[in-house]
Every structure is written in C-alpha cells, then in structure tokens.
Chains A and B, each alone.
Chain A
Amino acid sequence: MAFVQAFLNGLLVGGVYALIASGMALIFGVMRLVNFAHGAFLMLGTYLSFYGWVLLGLNPYLAFPLWGAVLFALAVGIYWLLVRRVMGASDFLQILLTEGISLALVGLAQLLFGADYRQINLPIANRIASAGPLHFSVGYILSFTVSLLLVIALQQFLAHTEMGRAIRAVAQNRTVAPLMGIRVERVSAITFGLGIACAGVAGALLLPIFWTNPTVGAPYTLKSFVIVVLGGMGSVQGAALGGLLLGVAEQFTAYTWADRYAEVVNFVIFLLVLLFRPQGLFGGKG
C-alpha cells in the first residue's frame, strides 16, 4: 500500500511541477531562452502568497490569480528593460543575463524579507483526507488540482485564441512570423510574462504545503529544465507529462532508497535523457 501511496504522492507534487515546467517550456519554445531566473520568480510567488495571507488575510487558493497578474506585469517589465536586449545574442549571454536577474532577485529578497524560513498555517491545507488505507493532505490535493487546471487552461489558450496562435507561430518560425503580421516583440513579452506567471502561481500554491525562504526557488530552475528536457524541448504538453513523471520518480526514490538522494535522481535523469534521448521521452522528431 505504501507503494501506491508513494505513487499518488508523487503525482500530487508532480502536478505543481507540471505548472512550473510548462512556464519554462513556453519561454524556451517561443523565445529559445533558457530562463535561469525561473526559480527566483517562483520564490517571489511564495512571498506574495505569504504576505497576502499574513498582512491581508488572502487565502492563497483564492488569491493566486492576483499573484500571477503581479508577476506577469513584473516579467513584462523585465522583458522590455533587459531580456529584449539579448534576444538575438548567443546562449552564453542569455544564460548569464537570466542568471544575473536570478541573483539580483534572490539578493533583493534577502534584503527585504530576511533569510529566515517562513511558513503559513492554513487550516484547510493541514486537513487530512482519507480513502481507505490511503491518506492525503488536503493542501496537496488543492495545489495539485489548481495547478493541473491552469496547465489545461494554458494549453487551451495556446490552442484556441488569437494570441495563442500568434505565440505558436513565433515558436515555429521567428523569421516568418512577422511576415504574417505578428508583432514578435509583443508576443515575446507576453510569452515571458505568461511563463513567469506560471512559476509565480506555482510558488503561491506551494506555500501552504511547504515553506519559503529567498533561496527556495533554486532547485526548481533545474527541476523545471530537467522536466522540459524530459518532455521534449519547448513542448508544453510534454512538460506537463514530464512534471508528473518527475514527481513520481522523486517520491519513488525517497520511498525505495533514501529521501536525501531524491535530488540526485533529477540530475541523473537529466544527464541520461540528454545523452541518450535528447528529443525527450515523448518527442517524436530528433
């Protein structure tokens, strides 16, 4: 039974991973930019959620659209100010720039919020729901459900709206898209905003079941890139599946081997997939 429990726990965490990684995949797919600041924006999401609850009494499960909007606006601003300038440049400079943004955000958070661990006590998130011999924290179920709904909403948005079509067009061909009347800069700014809003909302949803501090986001940058690689670079659906898969893989390692090696599994999976199946587990073409 513990086996089933580990599997389901993995799926629940994996739902949030799916949301984080969808944002990363969107940014990578459309802008060919590896966002090393992804985890830092997730961290900002946790703090927005934290202060929203502590100062304003806003329940993270209701207020997350607001935090998403705040991060969307911030990300669009950062795009116009900084990221735009390296869009044509080499990966080398792009990575260094987003790494710089990440360090600056983490550093600012340390200055503003201090380095302490913070947690909120949300009554509903701490309840336990039981189904026979299986037990789940309601917080995990809520975070999982909201995350998956958002991932589906993002996919629907990309598939069926005018802006979604424009985003996909830019992802397909950055040179031809403007000939079709698409404003590539604007699409890029919106893509960057959406991708970061995913990370930020995921952070807001993680807070009730986790804790936060300024460096809480660091592992998620790597995790989401691992997932993006698993799912096939730039594929949002692939990233959603990859997120669930990574969540399960981590829980299984923790269950069968040792909790502390769960992190290593990420990296090993990452290196193996890159070396032997660089098109991703679900990707068709190489």
Chain B
Amino acid sequence: MRLVRRWWPTVLFFAVVGSMPLWITDGYVLQLIFRVLIFAVLGIAWNFIGGYAGQLSLGHVAYFGIGAYAMTLSAERIGWNPWLGVLLGMILAALGALIIGSITFRLRGPYFALSTIAAAEIIRVLVQNQDELTHGAVGTNAPLLFEAPNLDAKFFLGAVPILAGAFALATWIHGSRFGYRLRAIRENENTAMAVGVNPAVDKLKALIPSAVFTSLAGSVYASYFSFVGPDTVLNIEISVQAALIAMLGGAATVWGPILGSIVLTLTSEIFKNYFEHTHLVVYGLLLIVVVIFVPGGLVSLFQRRGQLRRQAGPIGSVQG
C-alpha cells in the first residue's frame, strides 16, 4: 500500500507520456513534447551536479555536443550504426567529464562556473576549426536513429525511456547516502570534508552520469533535427537552458526539472508565435524572477514549508 501511494504519480506520469503517440496525431505537438522530454533529461542530468552538489556548471553543452558529434561523425567517417555512435558518445562524455571535472573541480564558486564555460568553449572552437573532420562552422547532417514512417512517434518513444532512466537515477540519488553527501558539499565543502566526505571524488561521481545522460540527450536531439553544428549543439545557450530548467522547476528535486522543462519550453514556444527573437528575453526574465522570488523553484510553491526545507531549499543559502 505504501508502495502504491509513493509511486502512483510516477507510474501515472510515464503511462500518460508513453501513450501520447497513440492519442496525439499532430506531428507538431509531438515534436514540442519531444523537446520537453529531452530538455527534462538535460535538466535532471544538470541537477545531479548543479542542484545536489551545488556546483554551477555552465558548460554542460560540451557533453551535449560530444553526444551529437560522436554519433554523427562515427556514422559518417567509419560507417558505424548510429546507435553504436550514441554509445561511443556516452563513453566519450564520461571520459570528457573525468578530464574536465578533475581540472575544474579544483576551483570554487565563480571560478568553477567560468572554467566550465571555458572548457565548453575550447571544445566549440576546436570543433569549429577542424573542418576536415567536423565540417567546421557549417555543420553537417546527423544520421537518423529511426526509420520512416512515423518518425515523430518513434523519436518520442525513444525519448521516454531515456527520461525514465534519468528520473530513476535522480530518485535514487535523492534518497541515497550519496545524495546526502552531495548536499553536504553544496552547503559547505569544508565542513563536508570535516565529516569525512571526499568532495573531489563525489563531485566526479555526480558529474559522470550527468555527462552521460546529457550526451544521450544530445545524440537523440541532433538525430531528430538531423543536424549538428557548433552553433546548435555546442551553443552555450544549451548550458544555460539546462541550468535554468533545473532552477526553474526546483534544484535538487526529482520532479523539478520535468516541471521546469514543461514551463520553459511551452513559454518560449508561445512567445515565439508572436515575436521572432524572444526566447532569450524569456529565458533571461525567467532566470531573474526565479533567482529573486522563488530560488527554491516552482516545486517549492507546492510543498509545505517543513517538507521544502528537508528536500530542496535554495541552493547555497549558506555560504561555502
């Protein structure tokens, strides 16, 4: 009975989402919800390191791009099956996280945030300039992971298990000792060390799955839109989006990024129908509103006070 009470919202949510291609036939609506799902994965993945461990990464686009490019280039240059390329992307993203993490995690606060941007930008500039390998600034076509017909529905159903996987991992982290160690690092790294937490190791442990899921999202996203280019899959806006989605919904909550992705994607879509260049204004204003008025995210509005304090709480309300 407890099991039912605890899990019915999750089961209901995934049942409804998973059955959507059966009762939604409009390709545009499916595409829109597909984007919601992919960005929810991004937000959940960012949450591991940004929300729970409180490390403000603004370079997650690096892993997104690694996934997109690994799939595309391995198919194009060595003739691999794109799914194998997706796997390669996940492995490369994990390696990338290991390298970038071991450099940037030595830094704290703004230095860390900027070093993640620097790492992502180095990758972008390199990709942009290795024309022979990557097609440079122009970009190239990405291979399709599924075959026609009903591409919209197939991609949609491909995104659901990825989201479910990310969600399951988030649920586990949320209640595990590991999750509590990450929160300890977020609140005060020195104190965490004093009680026996090894921040260097735990931060890497959180970053690697975060990078792997981000890479997976990047592969599927690029394949759906059949394109990779430095201005799309390595655009710093994607890093900001990942952080914004998690913060908007609720950092260090399981449902927050899903809620954040729904709100952000739909809001920018609605405004897009009225003006051409509005998504940045929408992102900017939402970010400002969240930071100043609801630093606990939208989820915190639904929670009772005590519950909120235990689970989410504005990040870094205690100076680290």
What is the interface of chain B mostly: helix, strand, loop, or mixed? helix
A271 an interface residue at 8 Å Cβ cutoff?
A: yes
Do A103 and B277 touch (CB < 8 A)? no
Q: Which residues of B contact A261 (CB under 8 A)?
A: 125, 129
- CB of B183, distance to nearest CB on chain A (Å): 14
A102 an interface residue at 8 Å Cβ cutoff?
A: yes
- CB of B73, distance to nearest CB on chain A (Å): 20
Q: Which residues of B contact A229 (CB under 8 A)?
A: 111
Do B113 and A101 touch (CB < 8 A)? no
Do B287 and A100 touch (CB < 8 A)? yes
Do A103 and B280 touch (CB < 8 A)? yes
B139 an interface residue at 8 Å Cβ cutoff?
A: no
Question: Which of A96, A222, A275 touches B243 (beta carbons < 8 Å)?
Answer: A96
A95 an interface residue at 8 Å Cβ cutoff?
A: yes
Do A115 and B277 touch (CB < 8 A)? yes
Do A90 and B316 touch (CB < 8 A)? yes
A283 an interface residue at 8 Å Cβ cutoff?
A: no
Q: Which residues of A contact B307 (CB under 8 A)?
A: none
B92 an interface residue at 8 Å Cβ cutoff?
A: no
Number of interface residues of B (CB under 8 A): 49
Q: In the complex, A92 Cα to B291 Cα: how many Å?
A: 10
Of chain B, the residue at the smallest CB distance from A97 is B291
Q: List 12 other contacts, CB 8 Å, given A89-B316, A90-B320, A97-B292.
A: A90-B317, A91-B113, A93-B316, A95-B113, A97-B291, A101-B288, A104-B280, A108-B281, A263-B125, A264-B122, A270-B118, A274-B107
Residues of B within 8 A of A (CB): 54, 56, 58, 103, 106-107, 109-111, 113-115, 117-119, 121-122, 125-126, 128-129, 236, 240, 243, 247, 275, 277-288, 290-292, 295, 314-320
Can you show 10 pairs from A to B with CB atoms below 8 A apart?
Answer: A86-B291, A90-B315, A90-B316, A90-B320, A92-B56, A95-B110, A99-B287, A108-B281, A111-B278, A115-B277
Residues of A within 8 A of B (CB): 34, 82, 85-86, 89-97, 99-108, 110-111, 115, 218, 222, 225, 229, 258, 260-261, 263-264, 266-268, 270-271, 274-275, 278
